[in-house]
């Protein structure tokens, strides 16, 4: 199994909603990542978890809250988002210095 | 902060033309280097990677890249492009085990 699975694939939410994005991998990778990709832009690193501990937070606003419940799961909790947060959110994992990406969750904030 | 630069933002080629996309990075330590491709409406796919050893690496679909340490470069090449290579190409650099950063991307349009 060499997949990173992200759910939901599409999410539409209002600015007052609370929602979560989920990511799962069963490759035994101990580093997991959230990236944000706007249209026609490169992926931007948001958070890195290493051995289930947050190791990198790239100055992301607190309306994005990551969580790593165990070594296979990574969540991104969303609250009070802004329309400019609409983007493709990519989860990735790595073990041997190579990133494996999921297909992403496309988020639209109304 | 470390940076990854892709100087070609938009490249237009005819089929069978040769391709070279530039990538430079600023980190002076040990790095892992990658090229990813993103076809329209699809997710990122790994084209090729360099960790160590032979600086000329071959990837999928006839792509190759050369690591030149003295120039901090990792340019992507393909001798003869096809219409199906139309996509966006991202260079990425990994360092300190779990830090990965992407260049701004190069959009390639191949005319049939």
Give the residue, B22 or A56, on which the prediction is more confident. Answer: B22
Residues of chain A found within 8 Å of residue B30, distances taken between Cβ atoms: none
- CA distance to partner chain B, nearest, from residue A21 (Å): 17
Smallest Cβ–Cβ distance between A42 and the set B94, B97, B103 belongs to B103
**Out of B51, B100, B104, closest to residue A99 by CB:** B100
Please give the residue of chain A at the shortest CA–CA distance from B89: A42
- Over range B38-46, report the average pLDDT: 86
Confidence label for B30 from pLDDT (cuts 50, 70 and 90)? confident
A101, A2 Cβ separation under 8 angstroms? no
Chain A hits for B92, CB-CB cut-off 8 Å, are: 99
Interface residues of chain B, partner chain A, Cβ below 8 Å: 32, 34, 43-44, 46, 49, 51, 88, 90, 92, 94, 97-105, 107
| Residue percentage of chain A with pLDDT more than 90 | 79
Confidence grade of residue B98 (pLDDT, cut at 50, 70, 90): confident
What mean pLDDT is predicted for residues A60-68? Answer: 96
The full 3-state SS of A5-70, as one line of letters, equals EEECCEEEECCCCEEEEEEEECCCCCEEEEEEECCCCCCEEEEEEECCEEEEECCCCCCEEEEEEE
Percent of chain B clearing pLDDT 70 (strictly above): 98
Residue linked to tokens 């940076």: B3
Nearest one of A34, A106, A20, A22 to A72, comparing CA atoms: A22
pLDDT of residue B111: 96
- Taking the CA of residue B15 and the nearest CA in chain A, the distance in Å comes to 23
Of B44, B88, B99, the CB nearest to A101: B44
Q: Do A103 and B43 touch (CB under 8 A)?
A: yes
How confident is residue B7, by pLDDT bands cut at 50, 70 and 90? confident
When pLDDT is cut at 50, 70 and 90, the band that residue A39 belongs to is confident
Give the separation between CA A41 and CA B94, rounded to whole angstroms.
Answer: 19
Alpha carbon distances (Å) from B44 to A43, A88, A95 = 10, 12, 18
Nearest CA in chain A to B3: A44
Which has the closest alpha carbon to A38: A104, A110, A100? A104
Task: Kindly state the percentage of chain B with pLDDT values over 90.
Answer: 76
Which residue of B lies nearest to A9 if distances are taken between CA atoms? Answer: B43
Answer whether residue A2 shows pLDDT above 60: no
């Amino acid at each position: 199994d060499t997949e990173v699975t992200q759910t939901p694939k599409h999410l539409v939410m209002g600015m007052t909603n609370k929602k979560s994005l989920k990511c799962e991998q069963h490759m035994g990778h101990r580093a997991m990542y959230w990236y944000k990709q706007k249209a026609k832009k490169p992926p931007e690193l948001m958070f890195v978890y290493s051995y289930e501990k947050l190791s990198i937070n790239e100055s992301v606003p607190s309306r994005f809250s990551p969580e790593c419940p165990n070594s296979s799961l990574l969540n991104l909790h969303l609250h009070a988002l802004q329309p400019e947060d609409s983007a493709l959110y990519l989860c990735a994992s790595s073990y041997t210095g190579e990133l494996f990406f999921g297909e992403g969750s496309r988020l639209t904030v109304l | 902060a470390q940076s990854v630069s892709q100087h070609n933002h938009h490249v237009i080629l005819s089929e069978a033309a040769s391709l070279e996309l530039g990538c430079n990075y600023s980190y002076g330590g040990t790095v892992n280097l990658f090229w990813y491709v993103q076809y329209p409406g699809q997710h990122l796919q790994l084209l090729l990677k360099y960790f160590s050893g032979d600086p000329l690496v071959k990837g999928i679909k006839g792509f190759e890249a050369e690591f030149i340490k003295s120039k901090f470069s990792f340019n992507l090449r393909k001798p003869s492009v096809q219409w199906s290579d139309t996509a966006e190409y991202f260079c990425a650099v990994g360092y300190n085990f779990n830090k990965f950063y992407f260049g701004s991307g190069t959009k390639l349009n191949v005319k049939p």
